């Protein structure tokens, strides 16, 4: 069978967080939202006529694009939707970067999918290290020699943020480069740059329904940007799959955007829990990096992260541990409900006492 594997391209894929099916965990490993989607989503699913599934969805997802445009004060032509923001980001690579160009710049410690897409589409990577305190190196990005860049803001897995003035300085220093801002967690710090799209034609803002809208299972993400960039993405998408966002997902996402009050209440609760848990973790001897997202990046004063990860798992609590250098003594802990975080703290106390 060896020849069959030789028929397949070998590449090191992105490793998503575990989605265990064996037992019920307190699941704090993939930054999902602990709260259910809004009532309008439930109602939509109840009312959905399965007959509609006979037909293909609207290939342009106009209803959803209009809703997103309205939220950001933009036009339908400024919006591109996809099957999760991972898909939107993946499509950015063949759309905007050349194999023989100056490459795509991103941080050494950031969303590790960027590296995979660069490899897959054979685009050179320009890796810019975070500074020693895990802060973003603004001047390195201002001067980077590259075709374009991806900035994850707030960053994953550190939770750190680049402030607006620094971002603007980077954008203005690079008027002819594409600057992609991955805002998967921006709702947790109110730091979106989406309303700068008309001012800066070279920025593309990528966002998702998976985290702040509690819709990871629906798979929906989007980009907003100048119409020319959006048309570039559409060309690549239509060369790959005409129907990336299915009819159910489109309807669900529209409903999620309609309930702003519920959305804000969930985000506010998560932020409050984040601050409370940060204090409790510090009392247990953890260094907790300041977080602007729905997760914490923490390191214990003496207990190794890999051990903590396994012991928490044995105790029914799942968190994320990365083995990459510089961060292998950290754990990334998603902010769940107050009840879930209480279990986390209880189990940690138990483990640290033993
Ligand atoms: C979760 C996440 C995504 C992907 O979100 P989906 O919309 O679920 O594909 C993209 N970027 C970052 C930094 C993320 O954490």
Is residue 43 over pLDDT 90? Answer: yes
**Whether the CB of 208 sits within 6 Å of ligand 1:** yes
> How high is the pLDDT of residue 354?
79
Measured from the Cα of 87, ligand 1's closest atom is: 9
Domains of the chain: 16-36+261-353 (3.90.1150.10), 39-258 (3.40.640.10)
Residue owning the nearest CA to atom 2 of ligand 1: 184
Q: How far is the CA of 267 from the centre of ligand 1 (A)?
A: 17
Is residue 22 over pLDDT 90? Answer: no
Residues 206, 217: Cα–Cα separation, whole Å: 18
Q: How far is the CA of 294 from the centre of ligand 1 (A)?
A: 12
**Whether the CB of 86 sits within 6 Å of ligand 1:** yes
Percent of the chain, pLDDT > 90?
Answer: 93
**Whether the CB of 29 sits within 6 Å of ligand 1:** no
> How high is the pLDDT of residue 189?
96
Strands 148-152 and 317-318: unpaired
Mean pLDDT of the chain, nearest integer: 97
b/e 193-218 (16+ beta carbons within 10 angstroms → b): bbeebeebebbbbbbbbbbbbbbbeb
Cα separations in angstroms, 51 against 47, 55, 217 = 12, 8, 22
Beta strands (DSSP E) in the chain are 26-27, 79-82, 104-107, 125-128, 148-152, 178-182, 203-208, 221-225, 286-288, 295-300, 317-318, 320-321, 331-334
> How high is the pLDDT of residue 128?
98
| Strand partners of residue 331 | 298, 321
Q: Output DSSP code: residue 56.
A: P
| Mean pLDDT across 126-132 | 96
Q: pLDDT band at 21, cuts 50/70/90?
A: confident
User: pTM score > 0.85 for this model?
Assistant: yes
User: How does pLDDT run across 167-190, given as a tens digit for each residue?
Assistant: 999 999 999 999 999 999 999 999
**Whether the CB of 278 sits within 6 Å of ligand 1:** no
Is residue 2 over pLDDT 90? Answer: no
Residues 281, 294: Cα–Cα separation, whole Å: 15
Least confident of 1-10, 103-112, 280-289, 333-342: 1-10
> How high is the pLDDT of residue 18?
86
**Whether the CB of 85 sits within 6 Å of ligand 1:** yes
Residue 335, sorted as left (phi over 0), alpha (psi -120 to 50) or beta, turns out to be beta
> How high is the pLDDT of residue 98?
98
Measured from the Cα of 216, ligand 1's closest atom is: 8
- 91, 184, 217, best to mutate for ligand 1 pocket (most atoms within 8 Å of CB): 184
* Helix-then-strand count for the chain, H and E: 12, 13
Q: How far is the CA of 91 from the centre of ligand 1 (A)?
A: 14
């Amino acid at each position: 069978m060896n020849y069959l594997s030789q028929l397949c391209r070998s590449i090191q894929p992105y490793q998503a967080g575990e989605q265990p099916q064996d037992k019920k965990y307190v699941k704090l490993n993939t930054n999902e939202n602990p709260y259910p989607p809004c009532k309008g989503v439930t109602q939509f699913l109840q009312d959905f006529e399965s007959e509609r599934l006979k037909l293909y969805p609207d290939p342009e997802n106009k209803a959803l694009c209009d809703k997103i445009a309205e939220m950001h004060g933009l036009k339908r032509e400024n919006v591109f939707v996809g099957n999760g923001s991972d898909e939107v980001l993946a499509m950015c690579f063949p759309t905007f970067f050349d194999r023989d160009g100056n490459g795509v710049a991103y941080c050494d410690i950031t969303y590790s999918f960027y590296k995979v897409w660069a490899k897959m589409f054979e685009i050179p990577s320009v890796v810019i290290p975070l500074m020693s305190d895990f802060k973003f190196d603004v001047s390195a990005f201002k001067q980077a020699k590259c075709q374009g860049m991806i900035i994850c803001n707030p960053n994953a897995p550190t939770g750190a943020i680049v402030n607006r003035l620094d971002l603007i300085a980077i954008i203005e220093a690079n008027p002819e480069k594409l600057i992609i801002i991955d805002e998967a967690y921006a709702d947790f710090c109110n730091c979106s740059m989406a309303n700068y799209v008309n001012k800066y034609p070279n920025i593309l803002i990528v966002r998702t329904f998976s985290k702040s809208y509690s819709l990871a299972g629906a798979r929906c993400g989007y980009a907003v940007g100048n119409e020319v960039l959006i048309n570039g993405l559409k060309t690549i998408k239509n060369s790959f799959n005409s129907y990336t966002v299915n009819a159910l997902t489109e309807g669900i996402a529209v409903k999620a955007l309609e309930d702003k009050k519920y959305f804000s209440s969930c985000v506010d609760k998560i932020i409050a829990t984040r601050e409370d848990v940060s204090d409790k973790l510090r009392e247990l001897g953890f260094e907790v990096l300041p977080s602007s997202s729905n997760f914490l990046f923490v390191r214990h004063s003496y207990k190794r992260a890999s051990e903590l990860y396994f012991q928490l798992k044995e105790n029914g609590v799942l968190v994320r541990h990365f083995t990459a250098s510089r961060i292998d003594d950290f754990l990334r802990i998603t902010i769940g409900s107050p009840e879930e975080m209480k279990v986390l703290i209880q189990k940690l106390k138990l483990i640290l006492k033993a």
